[in-house]
Amino acid sequence: MSDFYSKHMIEALRSGVPSREVGACFTEARPAMMRRISDRLEAVRESGRSDGMIFTGRYGEGKTHLLNTFFSMATTSGMVVSLVPLGKETPLDKPWLLYQKIMASTFLPGAKQPGFSTLLESMTKNDALSGELLAYTARELETDKLYFLLKAYLNTQDEEERFTFLSDFEGDFAGNALIKKSYRRLLGTPAKFRENFSKTRHYMDYFHFMSHLFRQKKYAGWLILFDEAELLGRLPKKARMKCYREMQRFLNPGPRMEGVFSLFAMSSSYAEDVIDTKHEFDNVEETFSEDQKSKEDALASLNAVLKAPELAPLTREEISGILLRIQEFHGKAYDWTPQISADTLYRTSEAGGYLLRTKIRAAIELLDQLYQYGEAGGIRITELGKESFEEDAVPELEGLEEL
């Protein structure tokens, strides 16, 4: 391991910001939860049937780190991986926008940067994959918009037009009229849609198509990681109800979703602070009183949150193991041999409070002082703020979805 890599690890840990590199290196803790998620992920890889689950944990106790660990493990095993935090910028209640955010954060196995457009750019109109995808989009989706889009994309030679079509696959949806006009010009026949595509009603066609494309490219599956799902609790009531409904598309996907495993990380306080305090079961009944399917989906999501497994607190042995690895990294990063016992390092980390990230920073500060001065003084790290589930004071504007 190079000094540069060790320094990178120490600085990433010092910042307290989770990263995929850190997730790949620190995988030993919480073996029970790792095994539970790994077993379900492996079942998806082997069967091709999609699945989803939620896990919870206290604030600052490693939820994002666990997601990053599975990110690294999945890409190594040949899976496509997407990682997005939920919230205003990635709205689960507006899944057509969520699709765009997910695809912008999608990594093919071994890729250093997100993006999947190379899979489409390498296709020609006469290759076997193109023929299979055209047959799939013509028959298997709710609408046939993607059939006409794909066929137009494969037949155009205009770079600007190809860019427009690629952007549509990425979630910047082109209008139906534009696709019909291009198709008629390129193919000489009209594009007769079975049903005009609406992004608010037919967005799942895109998720289904991408999952099928990844399977056809022989990837081991598609892992979608949703971080900070507790931020749903800050949304206005109607938006939260829509989020619970849409969550079922990932927790309990139908057969058209191929080889996808969706994993939600959520604060363990969500049940008490949001579901109980805001009377979410009553809100679902009220909001979807005339829509039985939406009500059932939303209630199923709430029950999934209540039943979600929780990250067990790290034991002293697990924390000590992490700190010893950090001590090893620090020594390699600065070419020295820290002379400090595991017990002293652990007791120092206790000055960081109950959050794992601040324990780690306290230990790194101790190692810094020993390296620079040969001795260490008192270490104080102020407690980070706790999460809040107060609703944002932003009015909901109905009827904007179709704009």
User: Cβ distance 265 to 60 under 8 Å?
Assistant: no
Supply the DSSP string of 315-340, one letter for each residue.
PHHHHHHHHHHHHHHHHHHHT-----
pLDDT of residue 44: 96
pLDDT of residue 327: 87
pLDDT of residue 386: 42
pLDDT of residue 377: 58
Cβ neighbours of residue 206 closer than 8 Å, sequence gap 6 or more: 99, 146, 169, 171
All structural domains of the chain with their residue ranges: 1-14+314-403, 30-109+219-307, 118-204
How far apart are alpha carbons 210 and 216 in whole angstroms? 10
Question: Which residues partner with 84 through β-bridges?
Answer: 226
pLDDT of residue 380: 40
pLDDT of residue 400: 46
CA distances from 22 to 18, 106, 284 (A): 7, 19, 39
**Model pTM score:** 0.84
- Supply φ then ψ for residue 132, to 5 degrees: -65, -45
Q: What is the mean pLDDT of each run of 10 residues along the chain (403 residues)?
A: 74 71 59 90 95 92 88 94 92 96 96 94 93 97 97 96 96 95 96 94 97 97 97 95 97 95 97 97 97 98 97 82 85 85 81 74 85 65 44 53 46
* Residue with token string 């095993």: 77
User: Cβ distance 143 to 174 under 8 Å?
Assistant: no
> Going by DSSP bridges, is the β-strand pair 260-267/222-227 parallel, antiparallel, or unpaired?
parallel
pLDDT of residue 384: 34
How far apart are alpha carbons 334 and 339 in whole angstroms? 14
**395: helix, coil or strand?**
coil
- Supply φ then ψ for residue 155, to 5 degrees: -105, -15
How far apart are alpha carbons 24 and 72 in whole angstroms? 6
Helix then strand then coil, % of the chain, to nearest 5: 55, 10, 35
pLDDT of residue 58: 87
Amino acid at 231: L
CATH number for region 30-109+219-307? 3.40.50
Pick the closest to residue 265 from 38, 16, 67, 32 (CA basis): 67
Structure tokens at 275: 């579901």
> Going by DSSP bridges, is the β-strand pair 222-227/51-57 parallel, antiparallel, or unpaired?
unpaired
